[in-house]
Amino acid sequence: MTEVPWIDINYYKENVMERKEFLKSLGAGAAFALTFPCLQGCSKDDENGDSNPVPTGVDFTIDLTSEEGSGLQNNGDFILKEFVVVVKNLEGNFIAASQICSHQQTDQVRFLEEQGGIFHCFTHGSEFDQNGMPLNSITNNPLKIFNTELNGNILRVFE
């Protein structure tokens, strides 16, 4: 005689249903991404930063007296906001560049204090000067640079 598997309906309701509801609440796209994370191909680059489009239409402000602005107090400091690397460079000037690399669009661009201050992508090691010009042969594509404007304690970053 075939055994019928025992199903605890309460367990099903509490766990299986909850999970379904949870995925539903995330929306179809997110649920799909959670269920099939590598369907579009997991490459080595995905393990070293997410790919994203280079930011466009950037226009935001940072109050330098706020908690967010506290990350920009010292020369060489930088913060990440809306896929932009906002930097107080070694001369104390505010500059900003795309956090999305011009090589293969990973979000691994950061500011380094070496060579007077450069942008460096940790995915494959491309480097850019503060005008976004490439400093090594990994890519010839310039890194997108944004304008900055300081009004009192309010720093504006825009295109």
Q: How far is the CB of 111 from ligand FES (least distance, A)?
A: 14
Token pair listed for 159: 């295109």
Nearer to ligand FES, 126 or 130 (CB): 126
- What are the tokens at 118? 């450069």
Closest distance of CB 15 from ligand FES, Å:
41
Nearer to ligand FES (CB atom), residue 76 or residue 125: 125
Minimal distance, residue 143 CB to ligand FES, in Å: 9
* Residue 110 CB, nearest approach to ligand FES (Å): 11
Tokens of 72: 């920009």
Residues that bind ligand FES (CB under 6 A): 101, 103-104, 106, 108, 121, 123-126, 138
Give 54 or 72: the residue with its C-beta nearer to ligand FES. 54
The Cα–Cα gap between 22 and 46 comes to 26
- Return d(Cα 132, Cα 33) in angstroms, integer: 33
72 vs 138, beta carbon nearer ligand FES: 138
Which residues are CB-neighbours of 33 under 8 A, at least 6 positions away?
A: none
